[in-house]
Amino acid sequence: MPVEFNDEQNQNRVLYGRLAQSNQAPKLVTWLLKIGIAKNETQANYILIGIAVIALISSIYLLFRSNSDTRPTPGSFEQVRESSSI
């Protein structure tokens, strides 16, 4: 005798409720609208994307800049070795 559960519809509702978009805007978008930097949600999203791109570019720049500053110059090893033997 097979056992059937009628709970499948309730599970579908719970899963759909978790995946469905809410009508509430994200907090950063709301904050940008509240302080008056953006006039609508689309403009606020573009501003946030611009901030993310600027942060990514500056991170990459600082990463490569710090790597180029720490590279030894030719002849520096010999200079250090000579100065430490004195």
Establish if 42 belongs to a structural domain.
yes
- The pLDDT profile of the chain, 86 residues, written as one tens digit per residue, is 666 655 555 565 655 556 566 778 899 999 999 999 999 999 999 999 999 999 999 999 998 887 665 555 666 666 666 666 55
Establish if 85 belongs to a structural domain.
no
Neighbours of 1 (CB within 10 A): 2
Read off the pTM: 0.55
Establish if 18 belongs to a structural domain.
no
Establish if 68 belongs to a structural domain.
yes
Range of the domain at 66: 38-73
Domains: count for the chain: 1
